Amino acid sequence: MSEDKNLTCRQCGREFAFTQGEQEFYRRKGLISPSRCPECRSAKQIQPQPLICSQCKTELHKDTSICCTACLASVHLETQLEIRQSLKATDEAQSKLGDSESEKANLAEALGQKERVIIQLKKDIDSLDQDLMEAKEAESKLLVVQSREAELAESLSHKEHAIAELENRLRSLSQELEKLRQFHTDLQWIHPAVDGIRERLEALEHGQNKTNQRMLQVVERIHELYENTGIVGIIKRILRRYQNQAAYSK
C-alpha cells in the first residue's frame, strides 16, 4: 500500500500531508497530485489570492508555475543543456549546411563540366554528321567513277579486241603482200615472154588485117563480077564482121 506523502505548497511554500485516502481518491478520478495545501485551496475557494514572487514581490501570472530553488536550478540546468544541445545542433546543422553548400558547389561545377562535355559532344556529333554526309557524297561520286571506269574498261576491251582483229588482218595482209611481192618477183621473167607474145600477136593481127583487106578486095571484085550471087554477100558480111571484131580487140 502507498504511504502518506509530504508535498510542498506552491503558493505558501509550506509542507502538507497527502494522505493515502486522498491518493486513492485522486487516482480513481484520474487527477494529478495537488500542488497547494488544503488551507491555500480553501482560501482560494473563498477568495483567490494573487501569486507573489517571494524575492521581488512581483505579482505573477495565474498560470505561472512556481518551483522551489532546487527545481529552478534543475530547470535552469536543463534549459542550459537544451540551449547547449541546440547550439551544438545549430553548429552541426551549419557545418552540414556548409558541407551541403560545398557539395552543391561541387555538384554545380560537375554539372557545368557535364554540360560543357554535352555541348562538345553535340558539336562532335554535328561534325560527325557533316563528315558522314561528305562521306556519302564521296561514296556516291566513287560509285559514279567506278561505273564510268567499268564502262571505260568495257570500251577498252572492245577496242583491244578490235585492235587484235586489226593486227590479225594486218598480219594476214602482210602475208598476202609478201605473197604478191613474191609473185611479182616470180613474174619478172614472164614479162619478156609476154612482150614477145604481144609483139607476135600484133604482127599476126597486122598480117590478118592485111589478109582481110586483100580478101575483101577479092570479094569486092567477085561481087562486082557476080553481083547477083547470094553466097558472095554472105561472105562479104562475114569478113566485115570479122574485121570489125579485130579492130575492136585492138
Tell which of 66, 88, 120 closes a domain.
66
Does residue 152 fall inside a structural domain? Answer: no
Residue 145: pLDDT over 90: no
**Mean pLDDT value across residues 137-165:** 85
Residue 229 domain boundaries: 207-249
* pLDDT score of 236 more than 80: no
Work out the percent of the chain whose per-residue pLDDT is above 70: 76
Whole-number pLDDT of residue 191: 66
Q: Does the residue 219 lie in any domain?
A: yes
Cell readout for 126 is 554535328
- List pLDDT tens digits, range 179-191: 878 877 766 766 6
pLDDT in tens, 56-65: 756 665 555 5
How many residues are recorded in the chain? 250
- Looking at 39, 66, 93, which one is the last position of a domain? 66
Tell whether 218 is covered by a domain: yes
224 within some domain: yes
**Mean pLDDT calculated for residue range 144-154:** 85
CA separation (Å) from 162 to 148, 150, 158, 170?
A: 21, 18, 6, 12
How many distinct helices (H) and strands (E) make up the chain? 5, 4
The model carries a pTM of 0.29
Residue 44: per-residue pLDDT: 64
Q: Is residue 229 part of a domain?
A: yes
Q: Please check the confidence at residue 74 and state whether its pLDDT lies above 60.
A: yes
Query: Rounded CA gap, 43 and 35, in Å?
Result: 14
- Domain-embedded: residue 62: yes
- The domain total for the chain is 2
Q: In the predicted model, what is the mean pLDDT of the chain?
A: 79
DSSP label of 3: -
In a domain, 105, yes or no: no
Final residue of a structural domain among 66, 92, 111: 66
